[in-house]
Structure 1
Amino acid sequence: MIRLAEPKDASEAMDLVMIVLRDMELDIFNKLSEEKVKELLVKAYIEEPNYRYGFSNAIVKELDGKVAGVAFGYPDHMEKTIDVPFINLLLEHDLTEEYKLFNDEETFKNEWYLDTLVTSPDFRGQGVARELLDALPELAKQHDRHVVGLNVDKINDNARRIYLNNGFEKVGQIDIANHDYDHLQKEVG
């Protein structure tokens, strides 16, 4: 079942987000332990629902009572402020803004941006990513957006194939955390 994320999903959802963040080789992992990063993300997910990885910006695919996959996204106009709650959380923990996860602009104008989509390793190959992707047009329309955009790492052939097979097309390129990404979009009506 695809459903809106809830605070109770925090630990499982952040376990999945951590897979993506580790793959991105973000600088924060040179400064904080993975356990501390996850602890901060869980806190932000629950207490700051409008944060990039807050529960109000997520949908989950639930299977057998577990979070089989999660998708986080937001409309483009939120990008400038999407990480403010996490930065404030860092400051509350006597950490500086240099510990924030992202510095790069990722969205294109007038799109609903799929920030992160990840399937649990335990549920890969079962159509979880496709079901989450199929639910995105409704989210975009709720935010008055008729295009869903995303970035896919140029070396992530599996994800690229899923997106291209789901109707996304390359519309640009972008650098995020010193990695080259293709920006893909899909018209959703």
Structure 2
Amino acid sequence: MNIRTAIPEDAHAAVPLLFEAIGDITYILMGTNDADQALDAMTAFFSQPANRLSYENCTVVEIGGRIAGAMLAYHGSRLDELDRPLLERIASLTGDRNLTFPREAMENEYYLDSIAVDQDFRGQGLGKQLMKAFEAEGAKQGYARLSLIVELGNENAKGLYSKQGYRADGHQLEIAGHLYEHMVKQLD
């Protein structure tokens, strides 16, 4: 098993995993309701620097030369900068220059945007390994607060995060017609 920072060439394997993890939010970020168009746009963004979906913000776990899992993470203070290219794409498609995305991360948080494990590798603890990598990177960068969101009603995921020290902070947000709960963990 090899956990490493993604490279642009990982798009073919990492993007479908991230697309699955991000779910309906992908359509908002890409400005289209068409799955093929959203996947193509997401792949293009993954291959470019300086956006929330970039390989620069992605960590992958590789087993036997195959990408078995992927996660996106970045600091909340960078969210406006990282979303700008996505909002510019939507503006070019729709003409709407006033669109904003719901704020998933606070300014003082290292944020786990999404995490996914290929179905062929599930049940092997790879998600937990990626979570450990996320937390280790947050500590390495000197961030004291980690965060993520979990869909309300997804008690399995919430339970997993709670066991790892994440606590709901009372903040909820609606994205793509789904309600999410904001969870945080303080690093010592």
TM range (shorter): 0.7 to 0.9
Residues 22, 131 of structure 1: CA spacing in aligned structure 2 closer, same or farther, 3 A cutoff? Answer: same
In structure 1, the partner of 2:118 is 120
Q: How many residues align?
A: 185
In structure 1, the partner of 2:108 is 110
In structure 2, the partner of 1:186 is 185
The 5-angstrom pairing of residues 90-109 of structure 1 reads 90=90, 94-96=92-94, 103-109=101-107
Residues 28, 156 of structure 1: CA spacing in aligned structure 2 closer, same or farther, 3 A cutoff? Answer: same
Q: TM-score, normalised by structure 1?
A: 0.85
* Rounded Cα–Cα distance in structure 2 between residues aligned with 1:54 and 1:146: 24
* Rounded Cα–Cα distance in structure 2 between residues aligned with 1:14 and 1:42: 6
- Amino acid of the structure 1 residue aligned with 2:148: L
Deviation at 1:142, TM superposition (A): 4.0
In structure 2, the partner of 1:58 is 58
Contact 2:30 2:42 in 1 (8 A): no
Moved over 4 A (4+): 23-30
Residues 141, 29 of structure 1: CA spacing in aligned structure 2 closer, same or farther, 3 A cutoff? Answer: closer
In structure 1, the partner of 2:143 is 145
**Pair 1:16-2:17 in alignment:** yes
In structure 2, the partner of 1:77 is 77
State the SS of the aligned residue for 2:50.
coil
* Rounded Cα–Cα distance in structure 1 between residues aligned with 2:84 and 2:132: 29
Q: TM-score, normalised by structure 2?
A: 0.86
Contact 1:87 1:97 in 2 (8 A): no
Residues 85, 114 of structure 1: CA spacing in aligned structure 2 closer, same or farther, 3 A cutoff? Answer: same
How many percent of aligned residue pairs carry the same amino acid? 27
Structure 1 unmatched runs, 5+ = none
Q: Deviations over 1:143-172 (max 9, x none)?
A: 431111010001222221221121211112
* Rounded Cα–Cα distance in structure 2 between residues aligned with 1:97 and 1:107: 26
